[in-house]
Amino acid sequence: MTEPRSIRLDALAYGGDYNPDQWSEETWVEDARLMVEAGVNIVSLPVFSWPQLEPTPGVYNWGWLDRVIEVLWGAGIKIDLATATATPPSWLIRRHPEMLPHNVDGRQLEFGSRQAYCPSSPIWKENVARMTRAMAERYGNHPALALWHISNEYGDHVSRCWCPASAVHFRTWLRNRYGTLEGLNEAWGVGVWGQRYTEWDHIEPPRTATGPINPTQLLDFERFSSDALLELFQVEIDVLREVTPDIAVTTNFMSLLRDLNYWDFAAVEDLVTDDAYPDPADPLAHVGAALNYGLMRSLKGGAPWLLLEQSASAVSWRDVNVPKAPGQMRIDSMQAIAHGSDGAMFFQWRQAKFGQEKFHSAMLGHRGEESRSFKETKALGAELKKLEPVRGTRVRASVGLVVDWDSWWGSSATESLPSQRLNYAVQARAWNAAFFRLGHPVDTVRAADSFEGYDVVVVPNLYIASNEQAAALTAFVERGGQLVVGPFSGVVDETEKVHTGGAPGPLRELLGIEVDEHWPIPDGIHEKLEVAGESFAVSIWSEWLELISGTEVLGSHTSGELAGRAAVTRRASGTGAAWYLGVVPEEAGLDALFRRVLGAAGLPAREVPDTVLESVTRSSEDTDYTFVLNHGTEPLAVTAAHDAVDLLGGAVADGVLVLPRYGVAVLASARTGAVPFIGRV
Ligand code: GLA
């Protein structure tokens, strides 16, 4: 693989989506002036402008875009240039209505919103390649070009398509995977409910059927659908690599998203970018954001990424769209930078006057220069200049959390499961939240990684587990790692066949347990778990565990049918240990267990769980930059080294730093071996 190309920008990125085709040319000039005033150095455009660039087939109208780019570049502003393929023009659809996507009921979706295409449509791909080439040939040598922005939020509206073109593509994908029809029949376990296929053409995408659909067919459709969008992404990448081989490419991700395997997407692009919209009405939104950002920095092995879109204040797509309070936009931006983003960008620069997003906030609100959002935008732009030393540095984290799309899809695509309540993303978020409360940022890893640099690896769920993953996890434990595995793991292989002997299949020796039966807990019922004399509630899930000799019981059920049986176990192996949770404990239970895990790894942990204080360290070779964030609405005092310097100008007095509501400090100090751990006074 070639080295990733870098964004052509020599500062932290600051700017937003810009839709100049919604505004007059005089406004462009004013925009450029205000952008400079705000410290903006890059904008994304023209994301949705294909119809304006090619109003009739084959006739391009570049003039307006040429002029916009000249106005911006004249002011020194660079461009994250979109290939304009986020949405097709109406003429293309009317010529080729077959490119419209179909929903799960086989009904065609209409034009009138965006992303009105089937990812597998050959006509769409052909036109996407043509448009991308036209853009690259037109602007590929422009000095303002900093980055290619391919499409927009793949899968946002259409991540799966059940149309005839998808059916053809799905069959090709299945042929590549299984080779023969017999191979497919074997993989799909067609002996159940009489589903043997005798012709490839008989296979369809899993549209709404008479009852529960074959789970492996559903799982393969999830894999295929992610791959179909990946192939579409690759169509554009190939053109861009050919015409502009030195310019970095990206597509904006949507945080921890179920439908696309971002490990695969990140592998083919140069820079990971993300769109993140923590809800200002949710006082714990930053906890989830921490996991999203942990994923982003981990997708390319810890390399800096970029927050490409966030809101300046309210969005317009929730039921209730609460604005960001003064200071919230700043701390949200700082949190992303703390977690490795080399900049903070927005949707969008100027608030729209019309259309679906006119009530969505922007850096420049409807009131223009007087708007609160513009004032905060200017202030943040000035502050980012002070953070220049952190650009290019990397976050240090001791904990890795496994994100495995196959297990996510397998444990959610089918309704034929022990319970519908054990939700992959909810569990992953709950485990991340516990580490947040204990003071640790979490990277994400793959189950078959080398886990180098991590002291603790946690696997909230690994429903689909392979021998290769088991070997990697075992090697980690044997050389001293602390591994924690969550319930309903090691259940099936990659074709969803139950592992011989039952769960946890290939993890049996490592975890030292056998699951005799999954024992989901009915809605509304809370059972009890006791760990080291403390009692915790468990809900949703439990398991009848049998132990292999040598496995230690750390926690047992104290109520219900499983009373007296093991619920939490640990087995030593080499110089490390593998912990297993056969339950879903309440927050306090997770905190107590993970505190012990951190202790076993020799890592500090907060005695009192904290949902407000966050500290994340980005390090260069010789300097630690520790971001300290107060996500709460009350002032907060933390301990800091006496000689620590806050890049943002805050003062450390007698080893104490006081952060106001939504306050942030970035403490620079000589790099230490251990990651700095910040506590409350
Ligand atoms: C996403 C999209 C943007 C816009 C915003 C609104 O980030 O990429 O085009 O719709 O959402 O929040």
User: Average pLDDT, stretch 304-333?
Assistant: 98
Q: How far is CA 42 from CA 9, 31, 145, 271, in A?
A: 8, 13, 10, 15
Packing angle, helices 215-243 and 122-139, rounded to 10: 30
**Nearest protein Cα to ligand 1, atom 2:** 153
Q: What is the 155 CA–ligand 1 centroid distance (Å)?
A: 12
**Percent with pLDDT over 70 in the chain:** 100
C-alpha count within 13 angstroms, C-beta hemisphere, residue 22: 19
Our answer on whether the CB atom of 455 is closer than 6 Å to any ligand 1 atom is no
Our answer on whether the CB atom of 259 is closer than 6 Å to any ligand 1 atom is no
Cβ count near 247 (within 10 Å): 22
Q: What is the 347 CA–ligand 1 centroid distance (Å)?
A: 6
Q: Report helix, strand and coil shares of the chain as percent, to nearest 5.
A: 35, 20, 45
Q: How far is CA 451 from CA 237, 333, 509, 587, in A?
A: 30, 29, 20, 26
Q: Supply the DSSP symbol for 261.
A: -
| Cα–Cα distance, 323 to 319 (Å, whole number) | 13
Our answer on whether the CB atom of 153 is closer than 6 Å to any ligand 1 atom is yes
DSSP states of 617-651 as a string?
A: EEE-SSEEEEEEEE-SSS-EEEE--TT-EETT---
Per residue in 40-56, pLDDT (tens digit) is 999 999 999 999 999 99
Angle at 218 between CA 212 and CA 220, to 5 degrees: 160
Q: How far is CA 400 from CA 443, 450, 457, in A?
A: 5, 11, 5
Per residue in 420-478, pLDDT (tens digit) is 999 999 999 999 999 999 999 999 999 999 999 999 999 999 999 999 999 999 999 99
Our answer on whether the CB atom of 275 is closer than 6 Å to any ligand 1 atom is yes
DSSP states of 316-378 as a string?
A: SSSSS-PPPPTTHHHHHHHHHHHTTEEEEEES-SB--SSSTTTTS--SB-TTGGGSHHHHHHH
Positions marked active-site: 153, 309
Q: Report the candidate in 402, 464, 432, 456 with the shortest Cα–Cα distance to residue 263.
A: 402
Our answer on whether the CB atom of 274 is closer than 6 Å to any ligand 1 atom is no
Please name the residues in contact with 188: beta carbons below 8 A apart, sequence gap of 6 or more: 195, 214, 216, 217, 220, 495
**Percent with pLDDT over 90 in the chain:** 98
Per residue in 607-621, pLDDT (tens digit) is 999 999 999 999 999
Closest ligand 1 atom to the C-alpha of 277?
12
In the chain, what is the straight-line distance between the N-terminal and C-terminal CA atoms, in Å?
48
CB 402 within 8 A of CB 459: yes
Residue predicted with more confidence, 183 or 1: 183
Q: What is the 245 CA–ligand 1 centroid distance (Å)?
A: 28
Cβ count near 18 (within 10 Å): 29
Our answer on whether the CB atom of 152 is closer than 6 Å to any ligand 1 atom is yes
Pocket test for ligand 1, best of 315, 347, 350 (most atoms within 8 A of CB): 347
Per residue in 198-215, pLDDT (tens digit) is 999 999 999 999 999 999
Pocket test for ligand 1, best of 357, 358, 361, 363 (most atoms within 8 A of CB): 357
DSSP states of 160-202 as a string?
A: ---SHHHHHHHHHHHHHHHSSHHHHHHHTTTTTTT---SSGGG
**Nearest protein Cα to ligand 1, atom 5:** 347
Q: Quick one: three-class SS letters along 290-319?
A: HHHHHHHHHHCCCCCEEEEECCCCCCCCCC
| Cα–Cα distance, 670 to 644 (Å, whole number) | 9
Exposed, middle or buried: residue 610 (CB in 10 Å: 0-12, 13-18, 19+)?
A: middle
DSSP states of 443-511 as a string?
A: EEE-TTS--TT-SEEEES--SB--HHHHHHHHHHHHTT-EEEE-SS-S-B-TT-PBPTT-TTGGGHHHH
Q: What is the 503 CA–ligand 1 centroid distance (Å)?
A: 41
pLDDT recorded at residue 104: 98
| Cα–Cα distance, 491 to 504 (Å, whole number) | 6
Please name the residues in contact with 352: beta carbons below 8 A apart, sequence gap of 6 or more: 19, 22, 358, 360, 362
User: Average pLDDT, stretch 509-519?
Assistant: 98
Per residue in 213-264, pLDDT (tens digit) is 999 999 999 999 999 999 999 999 999 999 999 999 999 999 999 999 999 9
**Nearest protein Cα to ligand 1, atom 4:** 347
User: Average pLDDT, stretch 385-399?
Assistant: 98
Our answer on whether the CB atom of 404 is closer than 6 Å to any ligand 1 atom is no
Please name the residues in contact with 240: beta carbons below 8 A apart, sequence gap of 6 or more: 83, 132, 136, 148, 150, 247, 249
Our answer on whether the CB atom of 276 is closer than 6 Å to any ligand 1 atom is no
Closest ligand 1 atom to the C-alpha of 252?
8
Please name the residues in contact with 283: beta carbons below 8 A apart, sequence gap of 6 or more: 611, 631, 632
Q: Is the pLDDT of residue 1 over 70?
A: no
CB 323 within 8 A of CB 287: no
User: Average pLDDT, stretch 285-294?
Assistant: 98
Per residue in 259-279, pLDDT (tens digit) is 999 999 999 999 999 999 999
Q: What is the 123 CA–ligand 1 centroid distance (Å)?
A: 26
Q: What is the band of 642 on the pLDDT scale with cuts at 50, 70, 90?
A: confident
Q: What is the 391 CA–ligand 1 centroid distance (Å)?
A: 25
Rg (C-alpha) for the chain, rounded Å, is 26
**Nearest protein Cα to ligand 1, atom 3:** 347
Per residue in 163-176, pLDDT (tens digit) is 999 999 999 999 99
Our answer on whether the CB atom of 360 is closer than 6 Å to any ligand 1 atom is yes
Question: What is the average pLDDT score of the chain?
Answer: 97
| Cα–Cα distance, 188 to 217 (Å, whole number) | 6
Closest ligand 1 atom to the C-alpha of 48?
9
Per residue in 354-374, pLDDT (tens digit) is 999 999 999 999 999 999 999
Q: What is the 357 CA–ligand 1 centroid distance (Å)?
A: 9
